[in-house]
Amino acid sequence: MILSQIRELLNAELVSEQEAHSIDIKFAKASDLMSDVLAFSQPFSDRNTLLITGLTNKQVVRTCEIAGIGAIVFVRGKNPSAETIELAQQCNIPLLTTKLKMYEVCGILYTNGVSGASTYGDEEKRNEK
Amino acid sequence: MKNRVLFQQEFEIQGGDFVNAGESSCKIRNTLREIGINSDIIRRIAIAAYEAEMNVVMYAQHGTMKINVYQDNILLIIDDKGPGIENIELAMKPGFSTATEEMREMGFGAGMGLPNIKKNSDVFQITSKVGQGTSLEIKILLNGKNG
């Protein structure tokens, strides 16, 4: 699903200047623990994963850059600091913010076809067969 | 010459510098991408480097991170001057942490750092002296388990 569609579904605001229509999101993970995001990152990093989180500090953006995550949505109406936005722009990672809670965001995206990150690779396996 | 260093880089890490924490690891990631290393290897090195860098920032006064690229492996060496680790076996246990509230608020200190580094390494060595510091050696084979 294109990021701009996700933005509409979540009634979210784009808080950084990247173009939201250029990113195709297939997977999502939701966590406030950055070490868990790193520990369970996929063996490939083609930036088609979205991180759903309530943390807004710079380390969230760094974690996404390291783990190859393509975009971030901040939940519970949280707004990242200017520093976080600046880093996200440097790393080319779009930031969205929504008033919805984490559980609601997960539910909406899941029912609209965004898979959990643990299913990563299933599609490749199917294609190989 | 199999053991010739093809590429080498060294970074200084300042303890307590949460603002720039992770910058060195991101630089390593970008450099490895420029040299054309396989993306899965880069992801593993970047994660190990980032967790190690965060550990220095969170717990130590100062540290260095060196990366050496060889023909068949990449070696990351992180040395810090800091409190050291009293019980390494315990520190390696997922979930064990001595992190402060401030560290946890940043999304770290959940006790996954060292286990996460080990998980991404082919060879992992840790030595520590209480009151002096900790050293990590992380080796990732270029034709290793996931490469």
From chain A, pick out residues whose CB is under 8 angstroms from the CB of B25: 62, 66
CB atoms closer than 10 angstroms to residue B122: 17
The mean pLDDT of B95-107, rounded to a whole number, is: 89
From chain A, pick out residues whose CB is under 8 angstroms from the CB of B26: 62, 65-66, 91
CATH number, domain containing residue A49: 3.40.1390.20
Interface size A-B, in CB pairs within 8 Å, comes to 82
Q: Is residue B147 part of a domain?
A: no
DSSP letter (8 states) at residue B8: E
CB atoms closer than 10 angstroms to residue A78: 14
Tell whether A35 lies on the interface with B, counting CB pairs under 8 A: yes
* Number of structural domains found in chain B: 1
pLDDT at A12: 96
Domain span at residue A72 reads 3-117
CA dihedral over A51, A55, A61, A64, signed as positive or negative:
negative
Domain span at residue B77 reads 5-141
Residue B71 buriedness (CB in 10 A; 0-12 / 13-18 / 19+): exposed
Whole-model pTM: value is 0.88
What are the pLDDT digits (tens) for B37-51? Answer: 998 899 999 999 999
Q: Is residue B72 part of a domain?
A: yes
Q: Is residue A89 part of a domain?
A: yes
**In chain A, whose CA is at the least distance from the CA of B119?**
A39
pLDDT at B146: 46
**E-assigned strand segments in chain B:** 5-14, 62-70, 73-81, 123-129, 133-141
**In chain B, whose CA is at the least distance from the CA of A46?**
B39
Place of tokens 């190859």: A68
From chain A, pick out residues whose CB is under 8 angstroms from the CB of B112: 33, 35-36, 38-39
Q: Is residue B115 part of a domain?
A: yes
pLDDT at A36: 87
Q: Is residue A8 part of a domain?
A: yes
In angstroms, the CA B16 to CA A129 distance is 50
Least Cα separation, residue A8 to chain B (angstroms)? 28
In angstroms, the CA A48 to CA A33 distance is 20
What are the pLDDT digits (tens) for B6-48? Answer: 899 999 999 999 889 999 999 999 999 999 999 889 999 999 9
pLDDT at A120: 63
Our measurement of the distance from residue A38's CA atom to the centroid of its chain's CA atoms, rounded to an integer in Å, reads 13
Confidence label for B102 from pLDDT (cuts 50, 70 and 90): confident
Q: Which residue has the higher pLDDT, A19 or B8?
A: B8
- Looking at the predicted structure, is the pLDDT value of residue A32 above 90? yes
Q: Is residue B93 part of a domain?
A: yes
In angstroms, the CA B141 to CA B72 distance is 6
The mean pLDDT of A89-110, rounded to a whole number, is: 96
- Looking at the predicted structure, is the pLDDT value of residue A122 above 70? no
pLDDT at B147: 43
Q: Is residue B146 part of a domain?
A: no
What percentage of chain A reaches a pLDDT higher than 90? Answer: 67
For strands A71-74 and A95-97, give the pairing: parallel
CATH number, domain containing residue B26: 3.30.565.10
* Number of structural domains found in chain A: 1
Our measurement of the distance from residue B124's CA atom to the centroid of its chain's CA atoms, rounded to an integer in Å, reads 10
- Looking at the predicted structure, is the pLDDT value of residue A127 above 60? no
**In chain A, whose CA is at the least distance from the CA of B113?**
A35
Q: Is residue A123 part of a domain?
A: no
From chain B, pick out residues whose CB is under 8 angstroms from the CB of A35: 51, 107-113, 116
ipTM of the complex: 0.84
The mean pLDDT of A70-95, rounded to a whole number, is: 94
